[in-house]
Structure 1
Amino acid sequence: MPLAPGLARLRPGRREYPQTPSVPQYRVAATVLFALVGAVFGSWAARIPDVAAALAADPSTLGLALLCISLGALASMQLTGALCARYGAGLVSSVAAVLASSTLVLPGLSSSAIELGVALVLFGAATGTANVAANAVGVQVERAAGRPMLPSLHAGFSFGGLAGAAVGGLVASTVPTAVHLTGVGVVGLVVTAAIAPTLRARDVEQQVAGADPADGPRGARGTVLLLGVIAGCTAFGEGAVTDWGALHLRESLGAPTAVAAAGYAGFSLAMACGRLAGNRLLRTVGATRLVGGGAVLATAGALAVATVPLVEVVIAGFVLVGLGLANVFPVAIARAGTLAGSAGVALASTVGYTGLLGGPPLLGIVADAVGLHVAFLIVAALVAVGAVFAGHVGPAPSRTGYARRLVAPAGAMARLATTRLGHAARGHGNSLADLGAALAERTDVRRPHPGLEPLAA
């Protein structure tokens, strides 16, 4: 009895796929997916102060509510790996994007702290699933293209988050929170409907070809866990700068608000620019030297933040941290996906997210006891782990000039930061305050809560 047309396409050995998207089309769809997840979370982050004000929530109550995002995400991440292996990363990421867009409105409709906590558990579970599934899609893009792709996809997340936060800041004084978040959710649903067929078509091809090594080779779990530790140390550093960077500049060093905003803005822009250059750097110097050089650069930046009490040096340190950490997380996740497929992506992401969850509270305790400048020494120590274990993220390319290329990532990213931040400052005067104002125009001063950003991350 002949199979139905839809089932016939899934018959083992048959390789005829209707309108299978090309690799460039697949890459565009994946980039849009990453940007969408970033924009959804950035939009929520921009309205956190408004939600807190509407509920008259004190800092401790708000902190507990925000922790619900992390709990929801942690609960969903390991399940996501199994779902991607069973149904395909494209289908799971599309459904998760729909859920993330739909649950985005719930915090704006909450009338009590308990309702907000429940809403954020659901939102965290949806966005956590979307992050893991998006990374699994990114690994499939790399597999289809035969070259590094995940860093540039993470750049899409970074720019999406910046755009979401910027728009949220612009409309905060004129548009009610629920209306704004509903509008973003509707746009998210439309965008998801546009990219889902492309993502799902590649899923069909992956399932027929059996291309996702969901269980991975024996012994890979230990390496995947180590990759998760590397990602977690990176996420710890990102969360530290996100939550405490501007506060350190303003309260420890007495910087004005505009200048304090330049610290986080510079960090965010440097990370986004570093990820844009990540694909080329991976092809040029290899994963091992990119992660090792980036970790060294980020460690130097964190040490500058911790030890030099000068505003200019601290801001430069944040830029170095952003550049150095830009590609560590995506490279670690890509390696986990290579070793163990969707399950590896989920495991490494969950371990990495644990570092992000525990980092900012730990730094808060240390800061209360000995000051923020000492707390950033912990960041430097943990980020250095990436340099120590860089050999586990992939083999270095067998080319000549090893010693010269060993430091190439740090030099290339530093030159990139100088160029991009120079463009941002041009036309806005020469003073540090003017630069801070220029960067604040491009990035909303309200920093996102360190929940999901590095995991798309």
Structure 2
Amino acid sequence: MPRLNKMRTALPRGSGGNTAPASLSRLRTALTVFFALDGFLFAGWVVRIPAVKQQTGATASTLGLALLGVSAGAVITMMLTGALCRRHGSHAVTVVCGVLLSLSIALPAQTGSVTALGLVLLLFGAAYGGMNVAMNSAAVDLVTAMRRPVMPSFHAAFSFGGMTGAGLGGLVAGRLSPATHLLALTGVGLLVTAVTGPALLGGRAAAALPTEERRTDDSREQPRRMSAHTRRVVVLFGVIALCTAYGEGALAEWGALHLSQDLRATPGLAAAGYSLFALMMGIGRLTGTTLLERFGQTRTLVAGGMTAGVGMLFGSLAPAVWLTLLGFAVAGLGLANIFPVAVGRAGALAGPSGVAAASTLGYGGMLLGPPVIGFLADWFSLPSALTTVTLLAAVAAALGHTARHATNA
């Protein structure tokens, strides 16, 4: 709690908010590139899900179980990644996971059965989850050093990377096979990691802190036991992240299928659904720092959850493609800042362990999402199944309101 209060007094409208040294600026740029790469690669896989579904002969429910591999692999590695970040540093772990993610993205298109697809997605999810914990841990340290709530800007890069990946995926969906497309993404990922990795490995946010704060920051590198109160608050933020990650996963993994299967959209237009969703998330996150400084974290969380819930009702149940796309856009705007705020506050309270714990719970949303939506789609319909996103967005808004008592934010 003292660490969070210390950060909060330093963050808004401070005279030092725009005085970050050049080393922090370079570090911020490198970290932003990795966030963008993460979103770009993930979206490249997402837009090929319909083609891989057809390739493997999966039904909605069996595809949901296979997609469970992404989230299961992520959750399994997340707590381990927190320990690795404490031992080797979050920057080094980010670079290694960038390499692994780039290599593993080519594997799903090489499968011919649902079982094989699930197994390779387990590997893909492990690299994806590890990279997310490491990046967010590095971002929490950088936010502390810069004394501004810039966490949403990193997640904006993820969203814009996702928008670009989905947009390019939609353009090549009718021309390239999934195998060719995903193999090309492997090359792009390895190239970007090779170019940007050295800048990330050579920088450390704590080096720019005053001596007293640097000692506090360095103490986060050592394993420490969270108090019962801190653990409860971290879990609260983790559940908020879970509710919103469920929505992000639903749009990512089922949005294109909903547009193509239920509304008969073309492959390119179906891919545009996630691209538009990611665009609006990116725009929302670019304004996140201003929103947090002006309205505070609680109002931002509550308003975001309510907006996402309304948008997803349209996205799920609208009878026309353009209305569905509008709903996806509104949902993206609402979800934009909830996950980064929740993970950032958990990290401010408990360091890499807090980031890992909140992220693990958050990706539990993606763990539950694919099979739940898949089974509900078989029992009822995919549009009905997608309305569960609205329900969980409302839960996130309610918990965000409750969180004001936990941290006085």
What SS class does the counterpart of residue 233 from structure 1 fall into? helix
Tell me the equivalent position of 1:87. 88
Contact 1:298 1:324 in 2 (8 A): yes
Please say if 1:215 is aligned against 2:224. Answer: yes
Please say if 1:186 is aligned against 2:196. Answer: no
Please say if 1:285 is aligned against 2:286. Answer: no
- Percent of aligned pairs with the same residue? 46
Tell me the equivalent position of 1:229. 239
> What is the CA distance between 1:313 and its match in structure 2?
5.2
Q: Give the letter for the 2:145 counterpart.
A: A
Counterparts of 1:60 and 1:366, CA distance in 2:
8
Counterparts of 2:53 and 2:388, CA distance in 1:
30
Spell out the pairing of 1:268-283 with structure 2 (5 A cutoff).
268-283=278-293
User: Max radius of gyration: which structure?
Assistant: 1
Given the two structures, how large is their TM-score scaled by the length of structure 1? 0.72
Counterparts of 1:36 and 1:281, CA distance in 2:
25
Q: Cα RMSD between the aligned structures?
A: 3.2
Q: Give the letter for the 1:267 counterpart.
A: F
Structure 1, 198-207 or 67-76: larger mean CA deviation = 198-207
Tell me the equivalent position of 1:149. 150
Q: Using a 3 Å threshold, how does the CA distance of structure 1 residues 249 and 346 change in structure 2: closer, same or farther?
A: same
Given the two structures, how large is their TM-score scaled by the length of structure 2? 0.80
> What is the CA distance between 1:54 and its match in structure 2?
4.8
Tell me the equivalent position of 1:300. 310
Counterparts of 1:41 and 1:98, CA distance in 2:
14
Counterparts of 1:191 and 1:306, CA distance in 2:
36
Q: Using a 3 Å threshold, how does the CA distance of structure 1 residues 240 and 138 change in structure 2: closer, same or farther?
A: same
Counterparts of 1:249 and 1:337, CA distance in 2:
37
Contact 1:289 1:396 in 2 (8 A): no
> What is the CA distance between 1:55 and its match in structure 2?
4.8
Q: Give the letter for the 1:211 counterpart.
A: D
> What is the CA distance between 1:309 and its match in structure 2?
6.0
> What is the CA distance between 1:335 and its match in structure 2?
0.4
Tell me the equivalent position of 1:406. none
Q: Deviations over 1:344-380 (max 9, x none)?
A: 1111111111122212432344455455565455333
Q: Using a 3 Å threshold, how does the CA distance of structure 1 residues 256 and 88 change in structure 2: closer, same or farther?
A: closer
Counterparts of 1:190 and 1:260, CA distance in 2:
29
More helix per residue: 2
Counterparts of 2:55 and 2:383, CA distance in 1:
34
Q: Give the letter for the 1:31 counterpart.
A: T
Count of aligned residue pairs for this structure pair: 377
Contact 2:111 2:117 in 1 (8 A): yes
> What is the CA distance between 1:294 and its match in structure 2?
1.1
* Unaligned runs of at least 5 residues, structure 2: 1-20
Q: Give the letter for the 1:47 counterpart.
A: R
Counterparts of 1:319 and 1:173, CA distance in 2:
24
Contact 1:232 1:354 in 2 (8 A): yes
What SS class does the counterpart of residue 334 from structure 2 fall into? helix
Counterparts of 1:33 and 1:262, CA distance in 2:
23
Contact 1:77 1:346 in 2 (8 A): yes
> What is the CA distance between 1:92 and its match in structure 2?
0.7
Counterparts of 1:251 and 1:105, CA distance in 2:
25
* Unaligned runs of at least 5 residues, structure 1: 1-19, 398-457
Counterparts of 1:327 and 1:366, CA distance in 2:
28
> What is the CA distance between 1:36 and its match in structure 2?
1.1
What SS class does the counterpart of residue 157 from structure 1 fall into? helix
Q: Deviations over 1:169-204 (max 9, x none)?
A: 434455454444333223322322332233233348
